[in-house]
Structure 1
Amino acid sequence: MSSSNKISPQEANEKLAESTLEGKWQTVEEIYNSYPESHTVAISDSGETALHVAIELNEEKVVKKLMEAITKHEGGRKKALEVRNQHGDTPLHVAASRGFVKLCMCIVGEENRLYLISLKNKKGETPLFLAALNWNKHAFAYLYDATKHSVILNDLIRQDGDSILHCAIRREYFDLAVIIVHCYDFLITHTNKNGITPLEALATRPSAFRSASKLSLWKLTLYHCILVEPLDVETTMDKILRKMKKPPSEKLEFPENYATLCQALLNLKSLLVGSWKEEQEKEKHDAENPQKKNSEKHEVGFLPPNYSTLQQFIRSMYVHTLGLSGVALKDVKKIKKKHQWSRQLLDKLMEKPYEAFTGRGGQPDLISGWEFDTGVFEAFHQFNQGESSSRFENVEKEKEEKIQTPMLLSSPITDSRKSTPNQNKEAKDGIDPKETAFLVAAKNGIVEMVIKILSKIPSAIHNTNTKKENVLLVAVMNRQPFVVETLRMKSKPEVWNNLVLAADDDENTMLHLAAYALGDEKPWQIPGSALQMMWDIKWFEYIKSIVPQHFNYRTNKNSKTAGEIFKTEHKDLVKEGSEWLRETSESCSVVAGLVAGVSFATASAVPGGTNDEGKPLLERQPAFEAFAVSSLIGLCFSVTGLIMFLAILTSRKEARDFRRGLPTKLLLGLSSLFVSIIAMFVSFCCGHFFIINHKYKTFLFPFYAATSIPVAFYALAQFPLYFDLLTAILSKVPRASDKVESF
């Protein structure tokens, strides 16, 4: 810019702001080259420099030019790279949070300005933290690779004490969480300010585990047909790093189905290669253990040795051959990946069961302002002789400039705890200070975690919360039948009896807690108040079969038995369920009455007339016999349905009626109504068959088939209700449905 030498620095700054906002990057580059003081000028109220804006817009060429200007005019520490916006983010923060790995590489540069990676924003987050927080794989892999020999705990936590592992679990980036525990295993024992360990954070994510996820029958079929391999951390990270270092190549054009074909071939390759590797490992293992080989030689029986590989191949071909590679398949595969990675994360956390369960790593002792322990610096410097010490020099200068950033821990990895995590928790924001990961997993119905913790820490079965509720009481209160059944099978009889006989602070037993209604939370995920009432009664009866008989008469501190609590708590639900049953029965009874009238009129009419003896003239015709049978069936079933709906309307609709009587009547009424409607259509088609001339009869069948479409729509609309009613009647232990999956 030829005129840039003639203007004042203030005018240059104004021109810089204008050109940056308008995207005139050539002018910005010229100003950066001519006016070094403009490198740190904020061009907006948010405190952003031109470099911030260029990074946010992912202008790679512009950023490289600006970095060249900054490197040219600034020696040693680059102040322009440490300028913060209103959130305290440096340019590297912005690039890492957006996932612009090339810009991260440009900012850090070949000079390895690693001190920039340790700078924190107002929330105490480093660029590495932000890359993990938003799960920008390439940026995280690059920053990890750049600092893997010099990373400290302070880089991996923020002011509220949450580590990148906490954040990855809460945001359900379980593949990232597996990578983190592999790269920074000391975070397994780290707790935040509320004393929450990563294991407890994982226990609050029930959707990450198969036992707490509700899948429809269709999705469950796909779920078992999809193969998901465990995450190999080293291979994944190496693949990401190689991809970053690989020079860009021109894109080739492939047919639309190229990706699908490649995926099918990769699946076939993984199956064959995986089977070969398993055989090789098995042979090696058998060579080391010949006795075990002989003992397991005939375990397969009549099945071939490659049975498991063949089975998985058939599953994969079943999915791809039927064309089930659309959105549904992708969703189910995503769910299975989440389950696989979360289980892998759980196994990794429980490799150190005591530390992961108790959080022996301790809380972060964070205060504002930098404080640096010179002993740690010397130890780290001696340990990493090849590393640049500019990162630690930056800490001292940040302290002199009094930039408000969280403190660097004096001993991040070997910090010993001064108190237990339960004592450090604060009873606020719904956090129970005594609730362990075992109780949280039981509350959320995560059976895998309950079993895993019990196998590693058997004493956890006696954990209680602040209300003195043990794991069984917590599971009953939160309607988790799978957890109750698991505890019943895994516990010793004496331990199980102690759990059953326990009571909370208010002297509520298991039966009292099962009697409470949880209102709008819909614990069973069943639509409709009537079905909700059926499940609550079945749950109450199931718990009653577990507890001793005298629990039926035992009172709590409010002098109420479990039966009294159930009646009081379910008054509104009984009222709502009764209203729904009344409306449903009235509507269906009207339809059943109409069908009964039509069926009666049809049954009294004889197609073709009768002879002098009163015998039908068409009695030997197949269509006439079908007409006679269908009209009789329609009349009988329509009357049966009408009687069932009238019985529901005239019932007292008390709480005990919802257990079996009302569901059975409604099921019989709906079934009879459906059969009667089908019979009515069949009788109509058979009677109409005799009216049309013979030469048009071949054209009637498509029209007769079209009359079944309304019946099919009715059946599809009523099938979910029919299935839920059938399940409520036949099942002993209530199970949650998959209705919530559609929302």
Structure 2
Amino acid sequence: MMTEVESAHETHGSFVSKATGHPLPPPDHGTPVIALFNSFRQPQNLQPVPAIPPKLGKWDQSAPAQVHTNVFTEVLRKDQQDVTKILETPSQDVANNVPNSAALTNTNLVPYVILHLAALSGDWDIARNFLQSKPQAVRAKITKGSETALHIAAGAKRTIFVEELVKWMTSNDLELKNDVGNTALHFAAVSGIKRIAEVMVDKNPTLPQIRGIKDLTPLHMATLLGHREIVWYLYDKTILMDRDHMGLLISAITADLYDVALDIIQKNPQIAFARDENGETPLHVMARKPLACYSGSQLGFWQRCKGSLLPHTKAPYGKKLMYMQATQLVKQLWEKILTLNSDSAISDLIRTPSSLLFTAAELGNIDFLIILLRSYPGLIWHVDEQNRSIFHTAVIHRQEKVFNLIYELGGLKELIVSYKDNNNNNMLHLAAKLAPVIRLNDDTGAALKLRRELLWFKEVEKIVQPLYKEMRNSIGKTPQILFTEEHKELLREGEVWMKGTASSCMVVATLIATVMFAAFSTVPGGNNNDTGIPIFLQSRAFIVFAISDAVSLISSAASILSFLSVLMSRYAEGDFLHSLPNRLIVGLATLFISITAMMITFVATVFIVLGSEFHGIKVPIALVAGVPVGFYALLQFPLLADMINHAYISRVSFRPCNHLLH
């Protein structure tokens, strides 16, 4: 059983964990960073009182990323008095108050609970009062992980607290390590706050050289997490050994710190041939980093529009700068590799442990491939272990930009297209296979996914020899038979998706047509009993009413017919290429027009009925009438835009771009 003290301190441990808010490391940055964060251990099994976060005083200001807690300092000081009172209570009394009490896990941590909480919250006033009574606590290990108050404050991004605490410490105190061997500067590197690192290094310039877990320097820790500002600061302060450069370069590339990577390459050009623990060179790592995502060519439709409307915003500039740096890094690495004595040496380097050409082709890293092919055109003839070229790989993984390079080869493309893999599959067989899930998910709905697959099959069919269209692979299947079998389930899902979408939209279109027909039959204001002519015929609002009502009725009728034709289709494979998408586009577009015209009709009716008065009512009603139109556009326009993109824009996806020549 736990004593009351144990129980109370456990509550503080819970508060500490929530208040600190340490950022978790990216999952692909490896064990070193995870182990560093695991070293943020909180004291457990101690509960002086229910935890009350402290108020932030004048000493609590920190970097912008610092998390503040707004609670009154007086409450915390009362909390401290309660803690002290409980800590001074005889253990027998505590045991009597809490049934089934157990022994304290670590009695040495109990006196430092107040300092621990102050370091977490950044309350220097409380910490200063505590240190005045116990000066030795400045270097005490106050957690189960053997962290000092400086470790805790640095990890919690408490800049002002660190500045004041360092004044109480000697340079040797700053070198204290926790259980896993990390100093407070390692914690500062992970936090990413440059000012915290500056305060420590100014006090002890040798701190950047001290290695922590996995023999990593603070510089390496900051690089793993991509904290550019503190990386550049520590980069100038750290004396690196030869074995450090490769690990630092790979970490910089992984974290997109290409400016740092360029500096490392320029100072150590021979590192282009070095390999990491996985046997990969820096160029292998760059092959997995599609440069197009930094240039903006892989942005979505709305993102590209935003970039064109706001060309001078900071984000696009940062992306362009990163793209330029990444491109320059690839060029420098490749130029260095081309200095090797023979083609076989170059081939061995780029093929081991895996071929970086095919990695780049699989991921669609078109800019990377262009850089390599421009200076070494012979790479287009390279094949993998299954006798597939980079163009075959592009077909398998549906990478249009990489595949388009084949159009720039002229007559040579006939030779590459003739390659067959170990299973006697030609390029059309590979196009007939179902695309990887990650590529299928780029499209909305099963019907558009199937259409994308059909586009690929038809495009490859155009460039293969006629004989290859009927060629059988090792299991006796032609490309067309293979396509039908591979896409049987997708065809069924596409039919269900098309019918469901058409049925739902047709119900709405039918309702609109019914309402609009009824509205025109009973015009607002009524008719003249003698002539039968509408009373408000000469009103401008009535003209708007008549036109919008007619437009809504006609467009909704067109929408009904369009969706009806979708429902009555035979749903063959070829129908998904042009016929069905075009019909659905017409139906969605006319439905949107009918909804918009219906709301205009409603507004015109309001103006007719209310006459020339009640302006305070008519204007708000007119504004609110636009809400359904906007809501429909918000929900359905992305689908319509995607279908238009598929039906018309994607037709020019397969075309030569002259990347290799310009």
Deviations 1:508-530 (A, max 9, x none): 22222222223532446122222
Offset, 1:717: 2.5
Deviations 1:48-97 (A, max 9, x none): 57876686577355446543567xxxxxxxxx95x764434356655555
- Whether contact under 8 Å (1:626, 1:686) holds in the other structure is yes
Rounded Cα–Cα distance in structure 2 between residues aligned with 1:663 and 1:568:
22
Deviates more, 1:86-95 or 1:708-717: 86-95
Rounded Cα–Cα distance in structure 1 between residues aligned with 2:331 and 2:557:
60
Deviates more, 1:539-548 or 1:677-686: 677-686
Asked if 1:347 is matched to 2:450, the reply is no
Rounded Cα–Cα distance in structure 2 between residues aligned with 1:55 and 1:621:
74
Asked if 1:671 is matched to 2:655, the reply is no
- Whether contact under 8 Å (2:171, 2:204) holds in the other structure is no
Rounded Cα–Cα distance in structure 1 between residues aligned with 2:216 and 2:261:
17
Rounded Cα–Cα distance in structure 2 between residues aligned with 1:714 and 1:357:
64
**Which residue of 1 is the match for residue 518 of structure 2?**
601
**Which residue of 2 is the match for residue 87 of structure 1?**
180
Of the candidates 515, 530, 534, which is equivalent to residue 451 of structure 2? Answer: 534
Asked if 1:46 is matched to 2:156, the reply is no
Rounded Cα–Cα distance in structure 2 between residues aligned with 1:224 and 1:351:
34
Offset, 1:453: 0.7
**Which residue of 1 is the match for residue 220 of structure 2?**
129
**Which residue of 1 is the match for residue 559 of structure 2?**
641
Offset, 1:625: 5.3
**Which residue of 2 is the match for residue 575 of structure 1?**
492
Offset, 1:224: 5.3
Equivalent position amino acid for 1:532 in 2: K
Equivalent position amino acid for 1:652 in 2: R
Rounded Cα–Cα distance in structure 1 between residues aligned with 2:370 and 2:322:
19
Rounded Cα–Cα distance in structure 2 between residues aligned with 1:592 and 1:619:
28
Asked if 1:719 is matched to 2:637, the reply is yes
Q: Which runs of 5+ in 2 are unaligned?
A: 1-105, 116-129, 655-662
Equivalent position amino acid for 2:182 in 1: D
Deviations 1:383-416 (A, max 9, x none): xxxxxxxxxxxxxxxxxxxxxxxxxxxxxxxxxx
Rounded Cα–Cα distance in structure 1 between residues aligned with 2:262 and 2:368:
16
Of the candidates 187, 195, 199, which is equivalent to residue 279 of structure 2? Answer: 195
- Whether contact under 8 Å (1:593, 1:642) holds in the other structure is yes
**Which residue of 2 is the match for residue 177 of structure 1?**
261
Q: Which runs of 5+ in 1 are unaligned?
A: 1-13, 33-38, 71-79, 158-162, 227-314, 317-328, 361-416, 426-432, 737-743
- Whether contact under 8 Å (1:648, 1:662) holds in the other structure is yes
The alignment-based identity, stated in percent, is: 29
Rounded Cα–Cα distance in structure 1 between residues aligned with 2:373 and 2:366:
11
CA gap of 1:65–1:357, structure 2 versus 1, over 3 A, is farther
Equivalent position amino acid for 1:176 in 2: V
Deviates more, 1:46-55 or 1:590-599: 46-55
**Which residue of 1 is the match for residue 197 of structure 2?**
101
Equivalent position amino acid for 1:175 in 2: D
Rounded Cα–Cα distance in structure 2 between residues aligned with 1:688 and 1:17:
75
Offset, 1:535: 1.6
Asked if 1:335 is matched to 2:316, the reply is no
Rounded Cα–Cα distance in structure 1 between residues aligned with 2:297 and 2:463:
26
Rounded Cα–Cα distance in structure 1 between residues aligned with 2:265 and 2:412:
34
Rounded Cα–Cα distance in structure 2 between residues aligned with 1:721 and 1:461:
38
Of the candidates 142, 154, 158, which is equivalent to residue 243 of structure 2? Answer: 154
- Whether contact under 8 Å (1:539, 1:733) holds in the other structure is no
Deviates more, 1:686-695 or 1:520-529: 686-695
Offset, 1:653: 2.0
**Which residue of 2 is the match for residue 507 of structure 1?**
424
CA gap of 1:88–1:465, structure 2 versus 1, over 3 A, is farther
Offset, 1:481: 0.9
Q: How does 1:554-703 map to 2 (within 5 A)?
A: 554-605=471-522, 608-609=526-527, 627-683=545-601, 691-693=609-611, 700=618, 703=621
Rounded Cα–Cα distance in structure 2 between residues aligned with 1:123 and 1:591:
64
- Whether contact under 8 Å (1:508, 1:556) holds in the other structure is yes
Equivalent position amino acid for 1:193 in 2: E
Rounded Cα–Cα distance in structure 1 between residues aligned with 2:215 and 2:567:
64
- Whether contact under 8 Å (1:585, 1:646) holds in the other structure is yes
CA gap of 1:147–1:169, structure 2 versus 1, over 3 A, is closer
Rounded Cα–Cα distance in structure 2 between residues aligned with 1:570 and 1:661:
18
CA gap of 1:30–1:675, structure 2 versus 1, over 3 A, is closer
Of the candidates 151, 165, 179, which is equivalent to residue 249 of structure 2? Answer: 165
- Whether contact under 8 Å (2:559, 2:587) holds in the other structure is yes
Rounded Cα–Cα distance in structure 1 between residues aligned with 2:288 and 2:500:
40
Equivalent position amino acid for 1:466 in 2: E
Deviations 1:483-533 (A, max 9, x none): 2223422x3x24322222222222222222222223532446122222212
**Which residue of 2 is the match for residue 250 of structure 1?**
none
- RMSD (Å) for aligned C-alpha atoms: 4.1
Equivalent position amino acid for 2:472 in 1: T
CA gap of 1:616–1:174, structure 2 versus 1, over 3 A, is same
Offset, 1:471: 0.8
Asked if 1:452 is matched to 2:452, the reply is no
CA gap of 1:502–1:617, structure 2 versus 1, over 3 A, is same
Rounded Cα–Cα distance in structure 1 between residues aligned with 2:472 and 2:599:
58
Of the candidates 627, 633, 638, which is equivalent to residue 709 of structure 1? Answer: 627
Offset, 1:156: 2.9
- Whether contact under 8 Å (2:446, 2:497) holds in the other structure is yes
Of the candidates 453, 457, 478, which is equivalent to residue 397 of structure 2? Answer: 478
CA gap of 1:175–1:20, structure 2 versus 1, over 3 A, is farther
Asked if 1:205 is matched to 2:289, the reply is yes
CA gap of 1:537–1:672, structure 2 versus 1, over 3 A, is same
Equivalent position amino acid for 2:459 in 1: Y
Equivalent position amino acid for 1:215 in 2: L
What TM-score do the two structures reach when normalised by structure 1?
0.61
- Whether contact under 8 Å (2:292, 2:367) holds in the other structure is no
Offset, 1:600: 3.2
Q: Aligned residue pairs: how many?
A: 527
- Whether contact under 8 Å (1:350, 1:356) holds in the other structure is no
Of the candidates 67, 71, 93, which is equivalent to residue 170 of structure 2? Answer: 67
- Whether contact under 8 Å (2:288, 2:365) holds in the other structure is no
- Whether contact under 8 Å (1:16, 1:28) holds in the other structure is no
Q: Secondary structure at the match of 2:338?
A: helix
Equivalent position amino acid for 2:281 in 1: T
Q: Secondary structure at the match of 2:214?
A: coil
Equivalent position amino acid for 1:338 in 2: M
Offset, 1:559: 1.6
Deviations 1:275-295 (A, max 9, x none): xxxxxxxxxxxxxxxxxxxxx
- Whether contact under 8 Å (1:56, 1:94) holds in the other structure is yes
What TM-score do the two structures reach when normalised by structure 2?
0.68
- Whether contact under 8 Å (2:338, 2:346) holds in the other structure is no
Offset, 1:547: 1.9
- Whether contact under 8 Å (1:54, 1:63) holds in the other structure is no
Q: How does 1:227-242 map to 2 (within 5 A)?
A: none
- Whether contact under 8 Å (2:337, 2:346) holds in the other structure is no
Q: Secondary structure at the match of 1:467?
A: coil
CA gap of 1:223–1:666, structure 2 versus 1, over 3 A, is closer
Offset, 1:210: 4.4
Rounded Cα–Cα distance in structure 1 between residues aligned with 2:341 and 2:164:
49
Rounded Cα–Cα distance in structure 2 between residues aligned with 1:87 and 1:497:
60
CA gap of 1:347–1:90, structure 2 versus 1, over 3 A, is same
